[in-house]
Amino acid sequence: LLCKKIAQLTKVVYTLNCKAEDRDIDLGLLTKTYEQELDQTAQQFDQKYKQFSDSVLRKQQSQSQELQKALSQQKILEQEKLQFLSQFNQYKKETEQKVMKQKETTKAKMDSLIQEVDGIRKEAMRQKISMDQQLKDGQQKLLDQNSKLTLQLQQ
């Protein structure tokens, strides 16, 4: 009976050991499968991370290039603006100088014409006075002659 019990216990221990070994094998296989899945997931994550990282880097480079281009265009526009303002100020200055010169020339011509007109007016007044005097003298001569003739005729 004791031998039987020992045999049964040995069988139970053997079965338990077999089951434990099977479970260890299953657990090992399951662990290996999980590890493979984790490795595969990690690789997929790494791949997606690299793609995303590359995409972000490309976008950053693109944005950086666009920013550089925009800054370059802004710099060019600023230079053109400064050049235009400089040209405009130069044109404005030249125009003001031309206007001032034209005003001075016109004023000088007007002054000259006014002096000429004043001279002509004075000459005309002098000639009028001279003619008036000659006319009076001529009238006086005619009156004197007329008086002489009248006296001669009366005699």
Taking the CA atoms of the chain, what radius of gyration do you get in angstroms?
64
What are the pLDDT tens digits along the chain (155 aa)?
788 889 999 999 999 999 999 999 999 999 999 999 999 999 999 999 999 999 999 999 999 999 999 999 999 999 999 999 999 999 999 999 999 999 999 999 999 999 999 999 999 999 999 999 999 999 999 999 999 988 888 87
Alpha-carbon dihedral 60, 66, 70, 75, rounded to 10 degrees: 80
- Cα–Cα distances (Å) from 140 to 53, 61, 103, 135, 148, in that order, read 126, 115, 54, 8, 12
Count of alpha carbons within 13 angstroms of residue 143, beta-carbon side: 6
Tell me the C-alpha distance between 143 and 127, whole Å. 23
Tell me the C-alpha distance between 54 and 46, whole Å. 12
| pLDDT for position 25 | 93
Amino acid of residue 35: E
Domain residue extents for the chain: 1-115
With H, G, I as helix, E, B as strand and everything else as coil, classify residue 103.
helix
With H, G, I as helix, E, B as strand and everything else as coil, classify residue 1.
coil
Amino acid of residue 68: Q
| pLDDT for position 154 | 82
- Structure tokens belonging to residue 36: 């493979």
